[in-house]
Amino acid sequence: MQAVAERAPPEPLGRVSTDWKGAIDCDVHPHVPDIAALTRHMDDYWRETVGVRGITGFESIAYPPRAPLTVRPDWRGDKAAGRERADTDPKRTAAALMDRHGFAHSILNCLYAVQLIRDEHMAAAFCRAVNDWVRAEWLDRDPRYRASIILPLQNPELSVDEIERCAPDKRFIQVMGLAAGEQPLGKSHFWPVWQAAERHNLAVGIHSGSSYYHATTGSGWPSYYLEDYAAQSLAFHTQLGSFIAEGVFVKFPKLKLVLIESGVTWIAPYLWRLSKFWRGVRLEVPWIDRSPVEFVRDHVRLTIQPFDAPNSGETVGRLMDQLQSDQMLLFASDFPHWQFDGDAMLPGGIDASLRKKILIDNPLATYPRLVSPH
């Protein structure tokens, strides 16, 4: 809370800025209110199974409900006032984002913890329920919403089935998994999933978070939430390295990989190392026939919240210089996570032309289904 008090006061509520008009918000989290919301979308077997086994839901420790980061104060529920948290309600979420700012779209990335489920068939059943819940309760309620297909990456075949099931609905524009699962996502084991995504013009989104198959850091379990959250970018290092080295972008040249809620600035020093070491050991991955940084410029995008750097134009400018690309960043509010106060959704120091790219052009270039839905 201390850090918040030191910041500039939030902009006055109620002020409607037109600066955001037409923006595409690439990371919004709808919250499943309770297990009943999902069982309504399950078949008889799974509905009964959930009831008989007494499954009350899957809650990951990635976002402890009372952690400050999990929900910004003005979007929290208020029991006394009989109000649920805003991210359970498509109208209130739209009011906070698309209505208030004039965004063209909000892309829904549901973080219900399907990745925790070890039974891969149950995981697939929960993914189907989550995706159908998103479709019925969100996509059908507001034509501006778009969504990611949540995948049961516990099993690639079941993931492909879920893509095939959902892909005919063009409001799904991306498939999504978490940054820390059972094994690195570039491995050939997962290629049928990325092949299906490419075939359907779906981007591949990797969101921060873990299935907790393994410790959340490469050195073992940390003790505190603080460590866990700050270590998320390390899982992204692994996934980015895996997608590149395994040759996923060589195999699927149309694929776009979106790193969501990963932070941003870590990528420059990581790419520096990856590209430098490649020069000496490229013989083990000869299909990587040009510098890894070039694959990243062509295929990899990052959502801009949380922006993990000082709020200064100089920092942003230097990052863009190092990436040598103004196409890699995608606008995102990361609603309802508390990444910024008021309407300060972008870091300072972004000029008008770059701002337009981040808000509109880059998302359109990343998600083909936003441009030609049919």
Partner 1 sequence: MTRHVVARAAELQPGTRKLVTVEGRGIVVLNIKGELFALSNTCPHKGASLCNGLLTGLVRSTKPGEYQYERAGEILRCPWHQWEFDVRTGRSYCDPRRLRLMQFPIAVEPGASVVEGPYVAETFPVAIEDDYIVLEVP
In sequence order, the 6+-apart residues with CB closer than 8 A to the CB of 292 are 244, 271, 274, 275, 278
Which range in 45-53, 154-162, 278-286, 296-304 contacts partner 1 by CB under 8 A?
Answer: 278-286
Does 282 interact with partner 1 (rule: CB under 8 A)? Answer: yes
β-strand partners of 301: 258
Q: Tell me whether residue 52 or residue 281 sits nearer to partner 1 (CB atom).
A: 281
State the binding string over 75-104 for partner 1 (x if CB under 8 A, else -).
Answer: ------------------------------
In sequence order, the 6+-apart residues with CB closer than 8 A to the CB of 231 are 216, 217, 222
Which range in 47-55, 146-154, 280-288, 294-302 contacts partner 1 by CB under 8 A?
Answer: 280-288
Does 16 interact with partner 1 (rule: CB under 8 A)? Answer: no
Does 324 interact with partner 1 (rule: CB under 8 A)? Answer: no
Does 371 interact with partner 1 (rule: CB under 8 A)? Answer: no
Answer whether 238's CB lies under 8 Å from 184's CB. Answer: yes
Position among 289, 314, 321, 351 found at the interface with partner 1 (CB under 8 A): 289
Instruction: Give Rg (Cα) of the chain.
Output: 20
Does 188 interact with partner 1 (rule: CB under 8 A)? Answer: yes
Does 189 interact with partner 1 (rule: CB under 8 A)? Answer: no
Does 165 interact with partner 1 (rule: CB under 8 A)? Answer: no
Answer whether 209's CB lies under 8 Å from 111's CB. Answer: yes
Token pair for residue 182? Answer: 């059972």
Q: Tell me whether residue 71 or residue 288 sits nearer to partner 1 (CB atom).
A: 288
Position among 92, 144, 251, 318 found at the interface with partner 1 (CB under 8 A): 251
Q: Tell me whether residue 143 or residue 286 sits nearer to partner 1 (CB atom).
A: 286
Q: By C-alpha distance, which of 200, 72, 189 is closest to 148?
A: 200
Does 192 interact with partner 1 (rule: CB under 8 A)? Answer: no
Q: Tell me whether residue 242 or residue 315 sits nearer to partner 1 (CB atom).
A: 242
- DSSP-based helix, strand, coil % in the chain, nearest 5: 45, 10, 45
Q: How many angstroms separate the CA atoms of 238 and 320, rounded?
A: 22
Answer whether 186's CB lies under 8 Å from 248's CB. Answer: yes
Per the omega criterion (within 30 degrees of 0), is the bond before 336 cis? yes
Token pair for residue 102? Answer: 């004039």
Residues that bind partner 1 (CB under 8 A): 188, 246-247, 250-251, 278-283, 286-287, 289, 291
